[in-house]
């Protein structure tokens, strides 16, 4: 199948491109390289363009004539979205609208979107399933919620079939350390922040709150290995091609891991305890969020293969092998 991948030079995107190529698909990446890297796509064709640029998108779609689109391009920081509202809505919502318009205009049959568990906000019940109320607690989560709704309407009116994959926290790297995350300096995600402290790039990792109603007081999260996540896109496309109308699907490991537990595991991998300091809760951060991934198993035949030890070991090998990945 011809698959156009927006954001394919980024962290999750580059693994998805790799899995698509391995499955025999023809791939074109569209990425503005704002956080992504040309090297991450290898020799896969790449058009450097912004999804806010309708004319450039039109050219990419017109030339490649994709049958499927995997739309990952976007901004992803909950915290940053609170201060950069306009940019987040422009890139994540207007950008998605443009990608949808081009998809509809060029007869794209299958659409897979990088949504987020941020659409749930703080779930009342964990593990959270797809029927839970959608109550985003930050503009980032709202942009994903709105994008999901846009996709649903385009699908209803064009016959395009879609999967909105609600990712939990992507983590880990390739088993041979050939590909992984390039964390931008401003990244405040837990794995890069802990890696920086473990490698002595920063003195300590800050823990946002230890007064949550959890066993060790730190927040509970769901970390899903990036290779598993990438494979969820391939599974989605396969299910859609077989006639499935899949809708919104959680992609998480399904097991809660506390922030303190993750830091301790990275400490073990690095051979020394990672210094940490508890600071106040971060606005827009849910205390508890992990996935019920039953629907993914049922609808797209996906279940995670990797657990926390694989995530920590591969991420450590990747970042310690090249600390420039933590910029």
Question: Which residues are near ligand NAD by CB under 6 A?
Answer: 7, 9-13, 31-36, 50-52, 72-74, 76, 91, 95, 114, 116, 167, 169-170
- Among 140, 167, 208, 212, the active-site one is 140
| Residue 16, Cβ density class (10 Å: 0-12 exposed, 13-18 middle, ≥19 buried) | buried
Is the peptide bond prior to 127 cis by the omega test (within 30 degrees of 0)?
yes
Pair of tokens at residue 166: 């609600």
Does the active-site annotation cover 88? no
Query: Least distance in Å: CB of 76 to ligand NAD?
Result: 4
**Residue with Cβ nearer ligand NAD (11 or 120):** 11
Query: Least distance in Å: CB of 203 to ligand NAD?
Result: 25
Query: Least distance in Å: CB of 118 to ligand NAD?
Result: 7
**Residue with Cβ nearer ligand NAD (7 or 267):** 7
Query: What 8-state DSSP symbol labels residue 128?
Result: B
Q: SS3 breakdown of the chain: % helix, strand, coil, rounded to 5?
A: 45, 20, 40
Q: How far is CA 9 from CA 15, 22, 179, in A?
A: 9, 16, 11
**Residue with Cβ nearer ligand NAD (164 or 299):** 164
Query: Least distance in Å: CB of 10 to ligand NAD?
Result: 2
Would you say 154 and 160 are in contact if contact means Cβ atoms under 8 Å apart?
Answer: yes
Residue pointed to by tokens 């290995």: 225
**Residue with Cβ nearer ligand NAD (91 or 259):** 91
Pair of tokens at residue 61: 């779609």
Query: Least distance in Å: CB of 15 to ligand NAD?
Result: 8
Please list, in sequence order, all residues whose beta carbon lies within 8 angstroms of the beta carbon of residue 175, skipping any fewer than 6 positions away: 227, 310, 314
**Residue with Cβ nearer ligand NAD (92 or 258):** 92
Would you say 30 and 70 are in contact if contact means Cβ atoms under 8 Å apart?
Answer: no
Q: How far is CA 159 from CA 100, 106, 154, 308, 321, in A?
A: 13, 13, 8, 39, 47
Q: Which residues are annotated as catalytic?
A: 140
């Amino acid at each position: 199948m011809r698959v156009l991948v927006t954001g394919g030079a980024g962290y999750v995107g580059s693994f998805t491109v790799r899995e698509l190529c391995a499955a025999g698909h023809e791939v074109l990446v569209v990425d503005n390289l704002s956080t992504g890297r040309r090297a991450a796509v290898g020799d896969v064709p790449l058009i450097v363009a912004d999804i806010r640029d309708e004319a450039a998108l039109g050219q990419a779609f017109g030339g490649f004539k994709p049958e499927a689109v995997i739309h990952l391009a976007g901004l992803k920081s909950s915290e940053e979205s609170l201060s950069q509202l306009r940019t987040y809505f422009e890139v994540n919502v207007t950008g998605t609208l443009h990608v949808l318009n081009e998809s509809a205009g060029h007869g794209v049959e299958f659409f897979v979107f990088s949504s987020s568990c941020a659409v749930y906000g703080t779930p009342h019940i964990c593990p959270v399933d797809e029927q839970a109320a959608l109550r985003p607690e930050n503009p980032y989560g709202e942009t994903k919620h709105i994008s999901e709704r846009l996709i649903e309407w385009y699908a209803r009116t064009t016959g395009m079939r879609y999967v909105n994959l609600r990712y939990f926290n992507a983590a880990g790297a390739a088993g041979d350390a050939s590909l992984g995350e390039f964390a931008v300096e401003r990244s405040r995600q837990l794995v890069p922040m802990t890696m920086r402290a473990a490698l002595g790039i920063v003195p300590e990792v800050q823990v946002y709150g230890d007064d949550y109603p959890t066993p060790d007081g730190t927040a509970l999260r769901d970390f899903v290995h990036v290779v598993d996540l990438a494979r969820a896109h391939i599974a989605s496309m396969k299910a859609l091609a077989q006639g499935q109308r899949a809708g919104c699907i959680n992609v998480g490991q399904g097991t809660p891991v506390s922030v303190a537990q993750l830091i301790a595991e990275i400490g073990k991998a690095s051979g020394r305890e990672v210094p940490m300091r508890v600071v106040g809760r971060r606005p827009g951060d849910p205390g508890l969020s992990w996935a019920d991934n039953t629907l993914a198993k049922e609808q797209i035949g996906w279940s995670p293969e990797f657990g926390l030890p694989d995530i920590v070991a591969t991420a450590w090998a990747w970042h310690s092998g090249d600390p420039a990945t933590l910029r």
